[in-house]
Chain A
Amino acid sequence: MSARDHILEQIKINKPAELVLPETLSFESDFADLTETFTELLKTVYTEVVPVKNETELLQLLTARYEGVVNRATTIPSLLPWADFSLSVSDPHELETLELAVLKAEFGVAENGAIWISDAHLPHRVLPFITQNLALVIPAQNLVGNMHEAYKRLTDTTGWGCFISGPSKTADIEQSLVIGAHGSRSLVVYLLEE
């Protein structure tokens, strides 16, 4: 008998009587202002949330904030002339020297500051992790209250996707929080109004 069949057989013999799933598995949140909650929450994980009117203003803000930074890449077409690093590489290892990635993401969750990004928005999965610094851009109206609402939106997660909440961090040395473990050292979130 294969390991598979053996395991399934053992489970069949040993499992408890069948139960039904409870009805209440989803809870609604009632945040008065999603943007405010989202912004406050991300502040606690060292992430600034910046409202921005349109992509023209976004370009101005990025130019000012990341002045002097070389190896800038983006997935937002209107920002391509500003970027100096092309993402059309065949091997993701070539992204190693990337300093800043400005990436379009799909939506945010107010309760925990998590932002969903996936294959649908990325030429390389490793992009948000390998870059030294990360900026995510989401439409301002794309905020949901909590994770239950988030999964109502995520009927399909495509091949790969990730909730990102803040820069990479660790507290493995005496519980002292250090920002910048293996992934990005900083995160800024732009909420695009148009």
Chain B
Amino acid sequence: MSILPKDHAEASEVFNKDEGYVNWHDETLWFVRQKRDKSSKNIPEWEALREAGSQIKHYVLSHLDRLLVEFERNAKENGVIVHWAKDASEHNRIVLDILKKHQVQQMVKSKSMLTEECHMNEFLAQNGIDVIDTDLGERIVQLRQEPPSHIVLPAIHLKKKDIGDLFHEHLGTDAGATDPQYLTEAARQHLRDKFLTRRAALTGVNFAVAETGGFVVATNEGNADMGAHLADVHIACMGFEKIIPKQEHLGVFLRLLARSATGQPITTYSSHFKKPREGQEMHVVILDNGRSTQLGREDFRNSLKCIRCGACMNTCPVYRRSGGHSYHNAVAGPIGSILAPNLDMTKNADLPFASTLCGSCSNVCPVKIDIHDQLYKWRQVLAKNGHVPKGKQMGIKAMSVVLSQPRFYQWSGRLGRAVMRSVPFVVNNAMNPWYKQREMPEPPKESFRDWYVRNREN
């Protein structure tokens, strides 16, 4: 699946060409954010619950090695085969080897952002394995040969008509049909056949419990369970930060997760896997892929607390108006923008700048990650390491010269106001990035300083 080769600002410009479409995207996600607000307000202890979630995750970060070893021991005792992968390629190789051992060429997969991060589908395809994504939204984007644009709502960037056309082409639905009920039914029939014929199923992991060696997978569609319980081989893939100490902690996280994600009190299915069923083989792959490096970055390690609810995306004014694909990373939005530079600073240097730093992301985060502070801190790290574009560097330097010299600052202000008043086309043109999708403000007649000097006597 191709990832847009543009940086966030360029890709957003393309996304913003159709104003009606952008407004629709913006409103759709804001609607999800509002559902989250309503749902969280039904819980009087919501803030204490967020704090509890954050504290448990903090404990996890400080005990990760021990918890992972405890999980491994218990999982093995339960008859689960545990694998460890340092990076994406090791992860993909492990999955391929399991499938080869069982002579499986076709596999069903439920939602796993981790396999997106590893570009696993492409790797398996190159090795002759056909992977079918079974979450409806993921199946839609897979048929379109594009990555999900949102971690919870993979096809949120598409309109009914796009999906109707796609299903007409691939699933033989009626031309022009756009009724979601009808289209979903077609996908149900199409995917039921896959569930019944595939011998291997891959799922993600929402939470892995050290104390029991079990793991929880949450879906609304039931696709993880349909896949896993019918397959001879179940492979569950997890980033190592998915670990939690005790089963009772699920009480905290399952109350937070769906409410933060979609405003539901809980997902339809919260499936607790512990032992393979009789005759089945169950594997867990534990992945690092830069997570241990992020753990060592004091300012950014809290990003590993993330439970992948997507609330920060739904609330983000930049995400809502630029779309998930503009972030060119498996995880988009504010959380993606603090995770991605850890993986590749050069490639993802633009992402921490794709934010207004308004702080809304941090306010809705169910585990209280200081997302907007981290975005701000990443900007400084990136600038220090020379990852900020020349133009922006020059701008910041110029700004620093102006702001550090009061007389020069006063003079520039006066000049700016005069220019905007007398020759407005100098700033009101396409060369000025601030003029895009905006009207420039009416310039004030005088600065506050001028006004103050004039009125001080009174």
Partner of A172, one of B136, B271, B275, B288: B136
Within 8 A of B (CB), among A117-175: 118, 124-126, 128-130, 146-148, 150-152, 154, 157-175
Q: Assess whether A178 is in contact with B63, with CB atoms less than 8 Å apart.
A: no
CB-CB < 8 A to B445: which residues of A?
none
CB under 8 Å from chain B, chain A span 1-24: 2-4, 6-8, 10-22, 24
B214 within 8 A of A: yes
Whether B268 pairs with A174 at a CB distance below 8 angstroms is no
Taking A162-B272, A182-B195, A183-B222 as contacts, is the C-beta distance between A173 and B267 under 8 angstroms?
A: no
Interface size on A, residues (CB 8 A): 73
CA distance A130 to B262 in the complex (A): 25
Known: A6-B86, A182-B222. A162 touches B269 (CB 8 A): yes
Q: How far is the CA of A165 from the CA of B272 in the complex (A)?
A: 14
Tell me how far the C-beta of B185 lies from the nearest C-beta in chain A, rounded to whole angstroms: 7
Q: Which residues of A contact B90 (CB under 8 A)?
A: 3
Binds B, one of A49-57, A60-68, A74-82, A106-114: A106-114
B160 within 8 A of A: yes
CB neighbours (8 Å) of A172 from chain B are 135-137, 140, 153-155, 184
**A163-B270 in contact given A172-B136, A178-B180 (Cβ < 8 Å):** yes
Partner of B247 from A14, A151, A180 at Cβ < 8 Å: A151
A157 CB contact (under 8 Å) in B85, B155, B229, B247: B247
Q: Are A16 and B62 in contact (CB under 8 A)?
A: yes
The reply to whether B221 and A169 contact each other, CB–CB distance below 8 Å, is: yes
| CB-contact partner of A169 in B135, B214, B220, B277, under 8 A | B220
Residue of B nearest to A164 (CB): B269
- Residues from chain A with a CB closer than 8 A to the CB of B220 are 168-171, 181
Q: Which of A89-109 contact B (CB under 8 A)?
A: 92-93, 96, 109
Asked whether B183 is an interface residue with its Cβ less than 8 Å from the other chain, the reply is yes
**Cβ–Cβ < 8 Å partners of B49 in chain A:** 27
Beyond A113-B265, A157-B274, A161-B272, whether A146 also contacts B222 by CB under 8 A is: no
Question: Would you call B15 an interface residue if the criterion is a C-beta within 8 Å of the partner chain's C-beta atoms?
Answer: no
Please tell me if A88 contacts chain B, counting CB pairs below 8 Å: no
Q: From B222, which residue of chain A is reached at the shortest CB distance? A: A183
Contacts of A178 in B (CB 8 A): 180-181, 184
B28 within 8 A of A: yes
B237 within 8 A of A: no
Do B84 and A151 touch across chains, with their CB atoms under 8 A apart?
no
Task: Return the contact of A159 from the options B230, B275, B295 (Cβ within 8 A).
Answer: B275
Beta-carbon contact of A7 and B288 below 8 Å: yes
Q: Are B191 and A182 in contact (CB under 8 A)?
A: yes
Q: B402 at the A/B interface (Cβ < 8 Å)?
A: no
Enumerate chain B residues within 8 angstroms of A171, measured Cβ to Cβ. 153, 220, 262
Please indicate the chain A residues that have their CB under 8 angstroms from the CB of B181 in the complex: 176, 178
Separation of A3 and B83 alpha carbons in the complex (Å): 9
A18 vs B64: C-alpha distance when bound (angstroms): 10
Considering the chains assembled together, what is the distance between the CA atoms of A25 and B52 in angstroms?
A: 6
**With A15-B64, A26-B251 as given contacts, are A165 and B265 in contact (CB-CB < 8 Å)?**
yes
B84–chain A nearest beta-carbon distance, Å = 4
The complex places the Cα of A159 from the Cα of B276 at a distance, in Å, of 7
Q: How far is the CB of B72 from chain A (nearest CB, A)?
A: 8
Which one of B2-10, B53-61, B403-411 is at the A interface? B53-61
Bound-complex Cα distance A157 to B86 (A): 31
Q: Please, which residue of chain A has its CB at the minimum distance from the CB of B159?
A: A174
A87 close to chain B: CB less than 8 A: no
Q: Which residue of B lies closest to A125 (CB)?
A: B229
Q: Does A83 contact B (CB under 8 A)?
A: no
Determine the chain A residues whose CB is within 8 A of the CB of B229 once the complex forms. Answer: 92, 124-126, 129-130
Assess whether B32 is interfacial by the CB under 8 Å rule: yes
Tell me which residues across on chain A come within 8 A of B298, comparing CB atoms. 16
Q: Does B327 contact A (CB under 8 A)?
A: no
**With the chains together, A112 CA to B279 CA distance in Å?**
34
B240 within 8 A of A: yes
Contacts of A182 in B (CB 8 A): 134, 188, 191-192, 195, 221-223, 226
Q: How far is the CA of A24 from the CA of B226 in the complex (A)?
A: 36
| B140 with A4: CB separation less than 8 A | no
- Whether A183 lies near B248 (C-beta < 8 A) is no
Give Cα distance in the complex from A163 to B212, angstroms.
Answer: 17
B255 at the interface (CB under 8 A from A): yes
| Contact of A45 with B by CB under 8 A | yes
A174-194 vs B, Cβ < 8 Å mask (1 yes, 0 no): 111010111110000000000
List residues of B whose CB falls within 8 A of some A CB: 28, 31-32, 45, 48-49, 51-52, 55-56, 58-59, 61-65, 68-69, 72, 78, 84-86, 90, 134-137, 140, 153-156, 158-160, 163, 180-181, 183-185, 188, 191-192, 195-196, 212, 214, 220-223, 225-226, 229-230, 240, 245, 247-252, 254-255, 262, 264-277, 286, 288, 292-293, 295-296, 298, 301
List 30 interface pairs A-B (beta carbons < 8 Å), by A numbering.
A11-B240, A14-B296, A15-B61, A15-B65, A16-B298, A24-B48, A25-B56, A45-B268, A111-B255, A113-B266, A128-B225, A129-B225, A147-B250, A148-B251, A148-B252, A154-B247, A157-B212, A158-B275, A159-B276, A160-B274, A163-B254, A169-B221, A170-B136, A170-B184, A173-B160, A173-B184, A175-B28, A175-B156, A181-B222, A182-B191
A residues near B (Cβ < 8 Å) are: 2-4, 6-8, 10-22, 24-27, 41, 45, 92-93, 96, 109, 111-114, 118, 124-126, 128-130, 146-148, 150-152, 154, 157-176, 178, 180-184
User: In the complex, given contacts A8-B69, A19-B62, A159-B274, what are 16 additional A-B residue pairs having Cβ atoms less than 8 angstroms apart?
Assistant: A3-B86, A7-B286, A8-B68, A14-B292, A16-B295, A18-B63, A22-B55, A22-B56, A125-B229, A151-B248, A151-B250, A160-B273, A164-B268, A165-B268, A173-B136, A181-B220
Which 9 residue pairs across A and B have the least CB separation, nearest first? A183-B222, A14-B296, A181-B221, A172-B137, A126-B229, A159-B275, A112-B265, A10-B292, A176-B180
